Structure formats: C-alpha cells, structure tokens
Amino acid sequence: MKHENNGKDVCAGGDARSEMLRALPSVDALAGELVERGWEKRVGRGVIVDAARKAVEAERARIVQNGAGGAGVCDVSRGGLADAAEAALDRAALRKLVRVINATGILLHTGLGRAPMADAAVRAVTEIAGRYAPVELDLVSGKRGRREQLVVESLRRLTGAESATVVNNNAAALMLCVAALADGREVIVSRGELVEIGGSFRLPSVIEAAGAVMREVGTTNRTRASDFADAINEKTGAILKVHASNYRIEGFTAEASIEELVEIGEQHDVPVLHDIGSGALTRRMGRAVPGEEPDAESSVRAGADLTFFSGDKLLGGPQCGIVVGKSQQVARVMKHPLMRALRVDKLRLGALAATLDVHMDHERAMREIPAMLMLAPVEDLRARAEALCAKLSEIQGVELAEVRASEAHVGGGSTPARVVESFAVALRLAGASESESQEQLRWQKPGVIARANEGMVLLDLRSVFADEEAEVVEAVRHAAAHFAGRRGGG
C-alpha cells in the first residue's frame, strides 16, 4: 500500500534510507492530523502529542533498522502514521476504567469489579461525590463523630450484633481484628482453612503481618472441636474460623462448627473470630444463594466475638470489610492504630449505607440488589437467550448462533463448586477463531467479556443485564464487520 506525502511517493523500493527519514512528518503535523480526527475532545492535547511522538519515533527506528528493503509496508505519510497513532490511542483507552458487559456467567467476577451496586447506592455516590458530605460531623449535635457510625445502626439491626465497624476490604478486617485481639499471641486455626485469596495472598501471611503467631490444628480434611481445645494455652490470643470460600473439600471430612468453637472460647476466655468471606448478611439472604453460604446474622447468633465479611460480594455493595460483633471487642478494633490506615472514604460509606437501607426490606433487596436479581429462575433466561440469538443470527458475518444450556457461577469466592443453571448464546464469527472473536468483542464500546468454548464464544445471559442486550448486538455487529473487512483486504 502506498501513501503520499506532499505529492511525492517516498516508499519506492529504490529510495535511500536518508530520503525516507527526511520524509517523516513532524510531531506537530502528525498531532494536528489527530486533532482533525477529533481526538483532542477525548484525551487532550498532551496525550495526542505523546502518541504522535511515539508513532514517529517507532517509524524512524524501523527505517534505521530495515531501510527501504525491510519487511512489511513502508508508510511514512502523515495519514499512515496517524492511523498507527490512532490505533495506539484506542488501545490505551481500553486500559482505562470503563464500563464493560459481563457475558461470562460469573456474577461476582473479581476481574470485573465483583458485585454491581443497586441504583440506590449509585445515586448516593453521585449525590456526594462532587460535593461535601457530613462524613465525621453529627448534624444533630453539631459535634465531630466517627465516620463508621454512619452504618453501625443498620448493621446492628440487620445482624443482631451489639456493634459494628467497616474498613476497606475483608483482608483488612481480618488483619485488623487479629492485630487488635491477638498481637504477639497465638491464633488457632484449622489446617483445612489456611486459604489463599486472590493475588497469592495467604492467610498465614496476613496473620503474621498482624503481629500474631499462627497455631495450626487438625488436618486438611478433618479438624474437630477437640483439636482447638487441646491447643489452647497461656499464649493463646484467639480462635479463628475461616470459611473456605474459594474451594470445597468433600468425602471423609470433619470441621468444628462456630457454635462448638464459641463454647470452647467461653470456657477458656478466648475470643472467637469468624471470617465468613463473601457470606450473606442475613439468614434469609443466605438461603437465597445456591449451596451452603454462612451468614453474619447466624454467626452473631452463635456467639462469635467478631464476624467479618466482604461488602462487594453477596451483599452487593462497595468494596469494604464489614466487622460485626460484641461491643467490647469492636471497641478494641476501632481503637487500634491500623484503623485509621484502613478506614473507608465518603464514597464507600455512602454506597454502603444506601445498600444496607435496601437490605432492610428483604423483598426489596431481592428486587434491587443486582447480584440477587441475577439469580432469577433459569426459565426467564431461556426466553432472553432465544430473543438475543434471533437478532444475532441476522447479522452479516455471524456464521453460527445457537442457544445452549450453560453453567454459571456466583463467583467472588462464594459457593465453591456450585453451579447455577443458565442459558447462553454460542456464537461463531466468519473468518475468526474463538480467541480473535473474544478480543474484538472486548475492544468494542462497551466491551463484551465472553467465554470461549469449542471454537465459539459463549454469551451467558445470567450475568448480562436485560438493558445491555442491544449493546451486545451492536458489539457483535462491529466485530463481525471487522473480520469481514479483513477477509476483503480492507
């Protein structure tokens, strides 16, 4: 392919390397081309100039290395380099935090931000994000207060706990609770519960970072209450029970219940900490989730001194770690120096407070919390999948589209090894492999994140909002057009 620069072809095979270098457009000229294409409204002048500079430098390096006889297309025109710079800007835009459509069937997808929040939480964040809010000011008394108090009463009512607080995630909650109650002392935990969470962070490392000493008891598959009782000594600071939320052990197994551990703790005056991970807030909510997921209300009722869990999983709120339990123990947590380092900001507080308000009415929560809505009966998904499949089949370049039964997952470390029945549209685009189809769908606006399966991509309706289906159709249309252009040499 040839491009012209000032009416002169500079890419003829016999041109000298120096002539090609002189023909390169200036950075300012290339940036001007990008401005004419509308990029200044999207990214600003500085980003445009940087992209233009990199495109010119890359082409200069290619010419120096390969000369006129190098492999590939020789293109030093302003228009050709602007195309390259524009492609780089498009790729850079994909690395920003933008909305995407989750068609993976994983409801609490950690890579996609876990739980979408309810409209009420979104409105709360929008209202306070660009203005001031009484984060640490009591509007009734006019005196300074603690920011955590904004959600304490709601958490007490929902779980039955004496007190509560909140930090920036559940790993922080675990670390803070251990540091506050067992610093320099032993924490007894079952070998079957030494979990590794996302990012290769392991429970033993968190306990060590909190300043405590981990005391393992039992075996991987069987740990009894008596193992905990036998391990208690003058160095014991706490008993810790951890929900194995991202794996499941089946077969010849045994584990100590939270009730048994509380009884042992009371006999020896040792606090019991219960990490329920992504656990549900209330017993009714726990029963709405497939599998056996522990809930905060039951843990409090069993007598755990402190119970902690994530806010951005089954609760359907912002990322945070929620701690509920006995007043004396929560007070120790709140007085610890780490509390300030791990505190949440006004946006998370606003979103959490609004989410908890929704949970005050269980039926409302089932209607408005997206994670709960996505657990709708599978029959509802079949009709949606069939309607979407019909629309996708009409797109030129869609080689095959068919409805298939699928297996979705709650995800986010919830209900391990449990599947949720679903329906998906299996899609094959002409001239594209499954990985190429996935890539093009990701690159659309908004991007569609899909699963690969047997040479096709699966669009699982369990995690796609109904009002996103038209955007899925457009994303597939553009992806199919891309491959059609490639086949045609465009």
Q: What are 232-285's pLDDT values in tens digits?
A: 999 999 999 998 766 667 777 788 999 999 999 999 999 999 999 887 899 888
At 336 the pLDDT is: 96
The mean per-residue pLDDT over the stretch 345-357 comes to 97
**Is residue 376 very low, low, confident or very high in pLDDT (cuts 50, 70, 90)?**
confident
Per-residue model confidence (pLDDT) at position 23: 82
CATH topology for 100-112+375-487 is Aspartate Aminotransferase, domain 1 (3.90.1150)
Domains 100-112+375-487 and 119-368 share a fold: no
What band does 399 get if pLDDT is binned at 50, 70 and 90?
very high
Q: What is the pLDDT of residues 136-180, one digit of tens each?
A: 998 989 999 888 889 999 999 999 999 999 999 999 999 999 999
Looking at the predicted structure, is the pLDDT value of residue 10 above 60?
no
The domain made up of 119-368 has a fold known as Aspartate Aminotransferase; domain 2 (3.40.640)
Per residue, the 3-state secondary structure of the chain, as one string, reads CCCEECCEECCCCCCCHHHHHHCCCCHHHHHHHHHHCCCHHHHCHHHHHHHHHHHHHHHHHHHHHHHHHCCCCCCCCHHHHHHHHHHHHHHHHHCCCCCEEEECCEEECHHHCCCCCCHHHHHHHHHHHCCCCCCCECCCCCCECCCCHHHHHHHHHHHCCCEEEEECCHHHHHHHHHHHHHCCCEEEEEHHHCCEEHHHEEHHHHHHHCCCEEEEECCCCECCHHHHHHHCCCCEEEEEEECCCCCCCCCCCECCCHHHHHHHHHHHCCCEEEEEECCECCHHHHHCCCCCCCEHHHHHHHCCCEEEEECCCCCCCCCCEEEEECHHHHHHHHHCCHHHHCCCCHHHHHHHHHHHHHHCCHHHHHHHCHHHHCCCCHHHHHHHHHHHHHHHHCCCCEEEEEEEEEEEEEECCECCCCCEEEEEEEEEECCCCHHHHHHHHHCCCCEEEEEEECCEEEEEHHHCCHHHHHHHHHHHHHHHHHHHHHHCCC
Q: What is the mean pLDDT of residues 200-226?
A: 91
Report the range out of 60-74, 109-123, 137-151 with the highest average pLDDT. Answer: 109-123
Domain layout of the chain by residue ranges? 4-94, 100-112+375-487, 119-368
Say what the pLDDT of residue 452 is: 93
Q: How confident is the model at residue 73 (pLDDT cuts 50, 70, 90)?
A: very low
